[in-house]
Amino acid sequence: MAPTPFRLFPALLACTLALLIGGCAAQQQSADGSPTPARTSVPTGGSPGAGPTSTRATTTSTSSATAPAQVDCRKKKCVALTFDDGPGPLTEGLLDTLVKENVPATFFLVGNMIKQHPGVARRIASTPGMTIADHTVSHPMLTKLGAAAVKREIVGNTRLIRNVTGVSPRFLRPPYGLHHARVDDVARRQGQAVVLWSAAALDWQYDKPAKIVSVTMPQLAPGAIVLAHDIHPWTVKAVPTLITKIRAKGYTLVSLDDILGGHPKAGLTYARGEH
């Protein structure tokens, strides 16, 4: 379905203030339920991880893992899980859970973390159903950088991901959800759609697994893109319960490709998927 332009809510001023605790949401769906591209926005619960974060993988280091079936999110209630700021020491445990539950997910990787954990990045790439995406080299506020620095952060991480994993990322998540036309143009030239979120685990604010679940669930709606962080132990511990509760509400957990209809456009911004 063709995407429709996104316009910011008047509450953008409040979003700026909310960045101190993580940001706020800005998304709007088209009337026909197609994924909504946005030009500039600050989504719910900004991603404040200080991370020194696509292409769906088709092979795995776990022989029992199988790729989840493709889903039409115009016909089913879909939710996509995304994890920022890794890879880290906890990422492989999270992968084990996702493989066991046959749940796809997207990992927005930070270049400085890839350098520390290249083997984990390769494992994500080799696990069916997992998508690797770009979260810049050093997790800066891109809107505060000059043109050359923005390019280094995005293009540098794209090249690093490709060199380490063999994957060319097709999604970019700007740190803190902050971006502008310059960021979008670099993403477009790299063939990357800018992906924000419509639901946030607030796992930088809360450190109890039960709280992560209770905060996330009320934010869900068909087409929701969930932001969480695989660098926090309480988040990794919360994921099994979160999966169970999401499914109990009748949602199907899908990849970003599925929730965005399979054809997200490079340079456009999406905060929510098909419904």
Give the separation between CA 101 and CA 240, rounded to whole angstroms: 8
DSSP labels, 14-40: HHHHHGGGT-B------TT----EESS
Nearest to 253 by CA among 269, 236, 239, 271: 239
Active site residue 230: no
Residues shown for the chain: 275
The encoded tokens of residue 76 equal: 């089913």
| Annotated active-site residue in 179, 229, 232, 275 | 229
Is 84:135 a contact under the CB 8 Å cutoff? yes
Give the largest Cα separation in the chain, rounded: 50
- In 3D space, the residue among 146, 168, 141, 145 whose CA is nearest the CA of residue 157 turns out to be 168
Q: Are 102 and 68 in contact (CB under 8 A)?
A: yes
Distance, CA of 40 to CA of 153 (rounded, Å): 18
Q: Which residues are catalytic?
A: 84, 229
